[in-house]
């Protein structure tokens, strides 16, 4: 049987992983806070990304060019000049089509909509100066099934030669009034009750300065990526780094999602960890494959190791017009099963973003590569000027934390306390716990000394808990629910033979080791 999302959410609340934001005021839809354990879990995830992407990129591996991968960080602001978002296309085009049911008041994203029967209509829409074909698809089923139906429909259109160009998938209700009667609300099943889709811009607006006039409108960033593109030139000019290289940015992004749902999966405020990797256009396919494979391996390395993780290459019809490849690292969440939900996108963005910002800002964003171009008689190269192509691994840290929570959640009815969070030791918020068997006879003092020693050695990686109260069984159970991998117990024997009991979270097995070996034991198992 699959894992129960209700049980996972209950544990998250009970043990302080995730709370509803503003809960005492009734909550606010699409916003979640982290409690002490959730904060530590997410910090471990962020740190792991930072370490393995920036500080020691790809665990010191070489890229497809045979050189070590090079990455640097930036920290850019949530609020940027509004023209950044015009250039990136977010102000004009970052829309979700939204449909309401007049009968039961449910709201749906039209591209997630279930409708009958399957239609594929074409029309021409003018967006700015670009004229593009708009395809309208209505499918019955889950998003994956609808995608399949859409792929079939595209194949049929291609065969008929009616498909002139591939455009980003766009749902647009054409001729709605004549079709309305066909559609039924997926929630209440009433026919003809759905409103026509309205385009809904996902950008949060705010005002900068005191006057709050139209001229002061600014936006909260919907992605951290654009901060990287607009600082690309500064990074090249102020460091000695050379293409190919990556720039990483981690921080909060905001999207006024039409239908925030599935716990933290689709929130209105969330954290991203994005890397923009700049390379020569000729090398971009090699780097695309490199990053796609590495990102999949990375998620596996922190505990998403089973068949709940998959890599899905986008179909041609899902690709943006500037992209020659995009794939998603997907996780089978309990609420998406048997389907998968996106954890991270790895996109080949071509030179789209730098070109857009170059055009809108009128600042040259090309790169002079001294190591390319014709070989000169003196043995050096003539150099080549180009706009680098970009491979973008874009991860969501809240979705990542949610996947880690769902993966860790295990029910073992044979154990006295059946709920166990089997976090990978690197991700575990509590790294170890130290218990005096009883709170007397010199045991608390020995436990405190060991706790102090372990905190000094491992404290920067996570909590070292010390808990003298309640029965030992209850203390183990509390640590199992918190996902603490190792508990050390000081008992009467410790005082005579200097050994402690170590209990393994996953198996419940216990063994005795010398107290002066505890630090080494933990270091080996935590990989620290």
Distance CA 512, CA 501 (A): 5
CB nearer ligand GAP, residue 246 or residue 485? 246
- What are the residues facing 489 on neighbouring strands? 435, 501
Distance CA 8, CA 396 (A): 20
Residue 260 CB, nearest approach to ligand GAP (Å): 7
Please report how the helices 397-408 and 36-50 are oriented relative to each other, as an axis angle in degrees rounded to 10: 110
* Total residue count of the chain as it appears in this document: 528
Residue 329 CB, nearest approach to ligand GAP (Å): 8
CB nearer ligand GAP, residue 193 or residue 264? 264
Other residues' Cβ atoms within 10 Å of the Cβ of residue 325: 18
- Between strands 430-436 and 463-466, the pairing is parallel
Question: Any residues with CB less than 8 A from the CB of 238 and at least 6 apart, and which?
Answer: none
Residue 341 CB, nearest approach to ligand GAP (Å): 9
Instruction: Please give the structure tokens belonging to residue 118.
Output: 């399957």
CB nearer ligand GAP, residue 389 or residue 399? 399
Phi, psi for 163 (deg, rounded to 5): -90, 110
Distance CA 124, CA 133 (A): 5
CB nearer ligand GAP, residue 323 or residue 410? 323
Question: Any residues with CB less than 8 A from the CB of 190 and at least 6 apart, and which?
Answer: 101, 103, 104, 184
Residue 238 CB, nearest approach to ligand GAP (Å): 24
Residue 504 CB, nearest approach to ligand GAP (Å): 32
CB nearer ligand GAP, residue 135 or residue 263? 263
CB nearer ligand GAP, residue 344 or residue 481? 344
Instruction: Please give the structure tokens belonging to residue 338.
Output: 């048997």
Distance CA 449, CA 239 (A): 46
Residue 434 CB, nearest approach to ligand GAP (Å): 36
CB nearer ligand GAP, residue 173 or residue 225? 225
Other residues' Cβ atoms within 10 Å of the Cβ of residue 91: 17
Phi, psi for 23 (deg, rounded to 5): -55, -40
Using CB under 6 A as the criterion, which residues of the chain lie in contact with ligand GAP when the complex forms? 223, 225, 255, 257, 266-267, 270, 272, 274, 342-345, 392, 394-396, 398-399
CB nearer ligand GAP, residue 257 or residue 481? 257
CB nearer ligand GAP, residue 115 or residue 343? 343
Residue 219 CB, nearest approach to ligand GAP (Å): 14
Distance CA 285, CA 277 (A): 12
- What are the residues facing 277 on neighbouring strands? 246, 391
Residue 204 CB, nearest approach to ligand GAP (Å): 12
Question: Any residues with CB less than 8 A from the CB of 56 and at least 6 apart, and which?
Answer: none
Distance CA 291, CA 424 (A): 23
Query: Rounded to a whole number, what is the largest CA-CA distance in the chain?
Result: 87
Ordered DSSP codes for 160-213: TT-------------SHHHHGGG-B-TTT--BT-BPPPEEEE-PEEEE-SSS--
CB nearer ligand GAP, residue 11 or residue 343? 343
Residue 278 CB, nearest approach to ligand GAP (Å): 15
Residue 490 CB, nearest approach to ligand GAP (Å): 43
CB nearer ligand GAP, residue 153 or residue 274? 274
SS3 assignment, position 133: strand
| H or E element that contains 352 | helix 352-361
Residue 88 CB, nearest approach to ligand GAP (Å): 9
């Amino acid at each position: 049987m699959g894992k129960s999302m209700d049980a996972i959410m209950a544990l998250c609340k009970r043990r302080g992983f995730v709370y509803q934001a503003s809960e005492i005021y009734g909550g606010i839809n699409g916003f979640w806070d982290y409690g002490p354990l959730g904060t530590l879990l997410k910090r471990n995830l962020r740190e792991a990304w930072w370490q393995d992407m920036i500080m020691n990129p790809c665990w010191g591996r070489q890229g497809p060019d045979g050189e070590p991968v090079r990455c640097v960080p930036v920290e850019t602001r949530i609020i940027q000049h509004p023209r950044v978002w015009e250039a990136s296309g977010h102000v004009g085009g970052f829309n979700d089509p939204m449909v309401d049911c007049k009968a039961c008041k449910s709201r749906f994203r039209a591209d997630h909509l279930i409708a009958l029967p399957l239609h594929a209509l074409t029309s021409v829409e003018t967006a700015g100066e670009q004229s593009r074909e708009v395809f309208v698809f209505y499918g019955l089923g889950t998003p994956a099934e609808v995608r399949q139906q859409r792929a079939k429909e595209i194949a049929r259109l291609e065969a008929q030669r009616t498909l002139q160009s591939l455009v980003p998938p766009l749902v647009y209700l054409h001729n709605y009034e004549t079709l309305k009667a066909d559609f039924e609300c997926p929630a209440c099943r009433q026919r003809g009750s759905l409103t026509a889709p309205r385009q809904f811009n996902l950008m949060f607006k705010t005002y900068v300065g005191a006057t709050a006039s139209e001229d002061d409108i600014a936006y909260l960033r919907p992605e951290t990526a654009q901060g990287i593109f607009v600082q690309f030139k500064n990074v090249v000019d102020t460091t000695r780094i050379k293409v190919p290289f990556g720039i990483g940015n981690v921080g909060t992004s905001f999207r006024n999602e039409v239908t925030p749902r599935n716990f933290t999966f689709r929130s209105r405020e969330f954290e991203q960890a994005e890397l923009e990797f700049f390379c020569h256009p000729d090398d971009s396919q090699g780097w695309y494959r490199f990053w796609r494979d590495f990102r999949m391996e990375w998620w596996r390395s922190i505990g998403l190791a089973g068949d709940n993780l998959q890599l899905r290459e986008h179909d041609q019809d899902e690709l943006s017009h500037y992209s020659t490849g995009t794939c998603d690292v997907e996780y089978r969440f309990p609420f998406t099963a048997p389907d998968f939900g996106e954890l991270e996108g790895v996109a080949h963005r071509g030179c789209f973003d730098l070109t857009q910002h170059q055009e809108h800002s009128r600042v040259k964003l090309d790169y002079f590569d001294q190591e390319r171009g014709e070989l000169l008689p003196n043995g050096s190269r003539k150099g080549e000027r180009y706009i680098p192509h970009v491979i973008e691994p874009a991860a969501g840290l809240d979705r990542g934390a949610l996947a880690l929570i769902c993966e860790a959640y295990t029910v073992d009815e044979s154990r006295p306390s059946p709920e166990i969070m089997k976090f990978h030791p690197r991700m575990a918020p509590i790294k170890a716990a130290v218990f005096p068997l009883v709170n007397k006879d010199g045991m608390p003092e020995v436990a405190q000394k060991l706790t102090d020693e372990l905190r000094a050695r491992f404290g920067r990686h996570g909590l070292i808990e010390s808990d003298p109260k309640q029965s030992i069984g209850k203390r183990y159970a509390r640590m199992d629910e918190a996902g603490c991998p190792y508990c050390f117990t000081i008992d009467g024997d410790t005082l005579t033979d200097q050994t402690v009991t170590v209990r393994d979270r996953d198996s419940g097995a216990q063994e005795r080791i010398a107290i002066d070996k505890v630090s080494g034991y933990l270091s080996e198992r935590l990989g620290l």
